[in-house]
């Protein structure tokens, strides 16, 4: 849910590309989640305020809980969250967690998360990179769209392929049992 929420911020900032990177490093007892976009970015005077749960630039509600909840989850696992942004160029959200911490929540169904993002935003490009130890898996919609040529990425026959490719890649990493 954290990933969906942070990517929703990227979508609202008019991003055309979003990179989601997860690094599981059992040897260093660390897990890192990075979400980077090429959206509008955050003005310098607001970057520190975005972690305040009672601050939001949205007019539809008075709170902005996404980043502060992710920060709370990271800190509960002896980690932290950083937000780096350049106005007009995009934003990078980086959360670190102690990998074996008892309070670290599982990532959940990443295949369904990515399919949801792709189907909901077929004109956007998503790159998903997942590393575990010395193995890596990458799924990139730019590459897939190139292979599909004139077939839309949200075509009903493409969706199961996307889900299966992501599941297969994660199984090879040992992330799905």
Q: What is the pLDDT of residue 60?
A: 53
Average pLDDT for 145-149: 95
Between strands 90-98 and 125-132, the pairing is unpaired
Is the confidence at residue 134, as pLDDT, over 60? yes
Cα 16 from Cα 10, distance rounded (Å):
9
Q: Which domain holds residue 96?
A: 1-101
Tell me what percent of the residues of the chain surpass a pLDDT of 70.
92
- Does 62 share its domain with 113? no
pLDDT band at 131 (very low <50, low <70, confident <90, very high): very high
- Does 116 share its domain with 151? yes
| DSSP-derived secondary structure letter, 62 | S
Average pLDDT for 14-30: 97
Domain count, the chain: 2
- Does 141 share its domain with 173? yes
Is the confidence at residue 24, as pLDDT, over 70? yes
Which one, of 68, 64, 88, 66, lies nearest residue 15 by Cα?
88
Q: What is the CATH number for 45?
A: 3.30.565.10
Rounded to the nearest angstrom, the gap between the alpha carbon of residue 54 and the centroid of all alpha carbons in its chain is 23
Q: Are 19 and 34 in contact (CB under 8 A)?
A: yes
- Among 66, 101, 136, the domain boundary falls at 101
Q: What is the pLDDT of residue 44?
A: 84
- Does 90 share its domain with 120? no
C-alpha Rg value of the chain to the nearest Å: 17
- Does 9 share its domain with 96? yes
109-129 pLDDT, tens digit each: 999 999 999 999 999 999 999
> In Å, how far are 42, 52, 75, 156 from 114, measured between CA atoms?
24, 27, 25, 15
Is the confidence at residue 74, as pLDDT, over 60? yes
Q: What is the pLDDT of residue 55?
A: 63
Cα 86 from Cα 109, distance rounded (Å):
31
Between strands 80-86 and 125-132, the pairing is unpaired
- Among 82, 101, 120, the domain boundary falls at 101
Q: What is the pLDDT of residue 11?
A: 93
- Does 22 share its domain with 90? yes
Q: What is the pLDDT of residue 168?
A: 96
- Among 101, 125, 149, the domain boundary falls at 101
> In Å, how far are 74, 82, 87 from 94, measured between CA atoms?
10, 5, 17
pTM for the structure as a whole: 0.91
Cα 64 from Cα 86, distance rounded (Å):
20
Is the confidence at residue 61, as pLDDT, over 50? no
79-99 pLDDT, tens digit each: 999 999 999 999 999 999 999
Average pLDDT for 21-44: 96
Is the confidence at residue 59, as pLDDT, over 90? no
Buried b (16+ CB within 10 A) or exposed e, 136-159: ebebebeebeeeeeeeebeeeebe
């Amino acid at each position: 849910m954290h990933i969906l929420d942070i990517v929703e911020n990227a979508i609202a900032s008019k991003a055309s590309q979003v990179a989601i990177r997860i690094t599981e490093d059992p040897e260093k007892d660390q897990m890192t989640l990075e979400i980077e976009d090429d959206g509008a970015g955050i003005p310098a005077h607001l970057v520190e305020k975005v972690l305040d749960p009672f601050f939001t630039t949205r007019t539809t509600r008075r709170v902005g809980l996404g980043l502060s909840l992710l920060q709370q989850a990271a800190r509960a696992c002896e980690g932290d969250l950083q937000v780096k942004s350049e106005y007009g160029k995009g934003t990078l959200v980086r959360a670190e967690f102690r990998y074996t911490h008892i309070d670290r929540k599982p990532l959940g169904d990443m295949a369904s998360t990515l399919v949801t993002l792709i189907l909901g935003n077929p004109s956007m490009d998503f790159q998903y990179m997942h590393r575990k130890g010395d193995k890596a898996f990458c799924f990139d919609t730019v590459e897939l769209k190139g292979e599909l040529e004139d077939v839309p990425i949200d075509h009903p026959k493409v969706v199961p392929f996307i889900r299966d490719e992501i599941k297969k890649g994660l199984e090879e990493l040992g992330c799905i049992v």
